Structures are given as structure tokens and as C-alpha cells.
């Protein structure tokens, strides 16, 4: 098993947000309704902001020391989660993008990924330094809002 570094979990979050922004830009191109395009544009912009927040968190972390109270088993769990279920994972994204042909399938995909993001961020929250948890709490709230906006949009499609 690889040695766990606290920064790994934040680097994964940065990739999640980057891939999320890329997905929403793609979804804008296939959306037919201006309202849906606008939502995808807004979500892409917010994912970029989240990426910057996680980059700031990473810059302020001690990269070599795992947080106190978490053993290698939990670190292995997170590594496996990231490796096998990374939200918006590039190779998975490429395969699934081929199946996304319209607004409805893009919204469905986005809803699933937002829920996956929420799960991951809740899991990593306790691994972050205490002074960084407020930032991830804000991101969690924003991801919940993304889910709600997408769910509302789905009702009208």
C-alpha cells in the first residue's frame, strides 16, 4: 500500500472539481434550452471556484503528515475510493460522455456526480486541518445547491 499523504485527498478533490467544470462546459454544448445552458455555465464557474479553494487548502497543508487519529486502514479506504470511484474520473467520464446525447441524460449524469462529490467531501472533511473545515463546509453546501438546482431542472425537462 502506498504511503498516505494528507495532501492526496485534497489533490483528488481538485481533480474532481476540474473534471466537473470540464463536464459542465461539455454539457453546455449539447443543451438545447438556454435556461439549461445557463445553469451548466453557472455550475462550471462554481466548480472552478471550488478548485481554487481546494488548491488554497492544499497550499496550506503539511503534505507529509497524515491527520492525527486516522490509521492506514482509513487512508486505504480513501485511496480505493478515489482510484475506483473518483467523481468525474477522466477515463470514466470519456466513456460515459458518449452516452450523453441530450439535456436529460446530461442532467441525470450531473446529479449522480454531484451526489458522489458530496459523499467524498463529507468523508474527507475530518481529515482536513480544523482551520480548513469551514471552507469544505461551504463547498458541501454549494454542492447540495448544485444537486437541488439540477433536480429542479430535471422536473421541467
Which CATH number belongs to the domain containing residue 102 in this structure? Answer: 1.20.1260.10
**Cα→Cα distances 120→12, 49, 143, Å:** 10, 18, 11
Q: Give the span between the Cα atoms of 64 and 56, in whole angstroms.
A: 17
* pLDDT tens by residue, 110-123: 999 899 889 888 88
- Within a domain: 22: yes
- Within a domain: 1: no
pTM of the model: 0.80
To which residue does cell 466537473 refer?
20
- Within a domain: 127: yes
Q: Residue 64: what are its φ and ψ, rounded to 5°?
A: -100, -10
Q: Report the pLDDT value the prediction gives residue 80, as an integer from 0 to 100.
A: 65
Structural domain that includes position 94 = 6-155
Question: What is the domain count for the chain?
Answer: 1
* pLDDT tens by residue, 77-106: 666 666 555 555 566 667 777 888 899 999
- Within a domain: 86: yes
* pLDDT tens by residue, 122-134: 888 877 778 878 8
Q: Give the span between the Cα atoms of 122 and 115, in whole angstroms.
A: 11
pLDDT > 90 in the chain, percent: 40
Amino acid at each position: 500500500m502506498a504511503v498516505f499523504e494528507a495532501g492526496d485527498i485534497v489533490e483528488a478533490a481538485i481533480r474532481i472539481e476540474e473534471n466537473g467544470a470540464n463536464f459542465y462546459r461539455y454539457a453546455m454544448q449539447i443543451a438545447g434550452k438556454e435556461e439549461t445552458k445557463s445553469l451548466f455555465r453557472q455550475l462550471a464557474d462554481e466548480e472552478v471556484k471550488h478548485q481554487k479553494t481546494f488548491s488554497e487548502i492544499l497550499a496550506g497543508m503539511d503534505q507529509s503528515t497524515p491527520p492525527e487519529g486516522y490509521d492506514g486502514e482509513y487512508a486505504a479506504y480513501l485511496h480505493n475510493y478515489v482510484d475506483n470511484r473518483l467523481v468525474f474520473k477522466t477515463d470514466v467520464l470519456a466513456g460515459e460522455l458518449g452516452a450523453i446525447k441530450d439535456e436529460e441524460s446530461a442532467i441525470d449524469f450531473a446529479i449522480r456526480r454531484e451526489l458522489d462529490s458530496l459523499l467524498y467531501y463529507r468523508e474527507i472533511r475530518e481529515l482536513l486541518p480544523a482551520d480548513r473545515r469551514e471552507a469544505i463546509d461551504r463547498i458541501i453546501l454549494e454542492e447540495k445547491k448544485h444537486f437541488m438546482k439540477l433536480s429542479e431542472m430535471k422536473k421541467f425537462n
